[in-house]
Structure 1
């Protein structure tokens, strides 16, 4: 590959197994890749703000490297992206966190301590939670939840994590699963109805997510709970 990164020229060979590159999203990239017709090369841009919120510093590219775990996770992420729903952000966030952890290890450093921001004001946090719980079937975005809290999206991400101990999207995911458990206790509700009412795109997606989180399928959970 022959690249110019923010005006700096880089020439690098590409081998099978080292066909992944990570760039800060703010970097300017120009150049070309000279590869065989059947060779796959993946380029990923990570938002430096996401890295900063995770306590990592990502300001330089990592080119022509390989990691089987990241590649497998990226395949899953790409598959999810084809039918992206309200949970897609969780998959993307999880992959990004894994990549950032790898970057910290490659640099020989540990993630920096996250700067404390004081969390959300109790009233703002309660308002956000009430808004989410009012209708879990709808999609949620960081921008929309930040508007409910009355703060900027960037501040909301940091403050919510400090207040709730997890990211907003993971919090929503947890609420959906808990609400699904409640709905499964009602024999009048079908699995599809439970899935849609809890914000999952379809019954199969719900079943897969539920089993991954609880170790049992929704039908097995229902049978065990109604014995």
Structure 2
């Protein structure tokens, strides 16, 4: 996974946003932007990761077998110390990485990804917002510790729902959403695409990603807007229109609710 590499080798094109990093006590917390990458390493410290968006590529985690991976949105991941990791993705995805640097081993002995944990989602969103705002006075150590507690192997994990949103369906859904972001998209259309009833689709989607289809749709709109903001000549009003927001003000509200920062302020931090 992207966030698991202590040194990520970024290939062209350059990341749309800078890496944001905070060191607090024994913790390093980093927000890595969506970008193409390829890396291989042996983990010198246990690492916690959190995927804010879908990611796809190839990896080999603690094994010589390289195989395709699909990271689901809001998926928690963990790589224990000493684990051999190879990972690459043509697009990557925004990712949070949390490391403990004082040599203490985090709970958990097995690598995993795609674990949906409601508390981890809340924590990751708070950490991302604080990193995007450039905050220096938040509870970084407390957040790092709280997120580390979510990787305990003994946590109960729900069994997948029959007909839930598996990797193949998630890819199809992402392609459908991305192709129609400049217009209205409804939950019924998403459910129809996958051949599910609206009610069942909403339950299965929440089980798979930890969020509602509507919230995920807004997140995709915000992600596209962040990518378009890389062009310094693009007007925010035009970006809002191209991403399906009703107005620039609507887009700004979505940014503040999702990430705690306005599009204008976020754009100021772009290289």
Q: Which has the higher helix share?
A: 1
TM interval, shorter chain, is: 0.3 to 0.5
Which TM-score applies when normalising by structure 2?
Answer: 0.39
Q: Which has the higher strand share?
A: 2
Structure with bigger gyration radius: 1
Structure number with the bigger relative contact order (C-alpha 8 A, sep ≥ 6) is 2
Which TM-score applies when normalising by structure 1?
Answer: 0.46
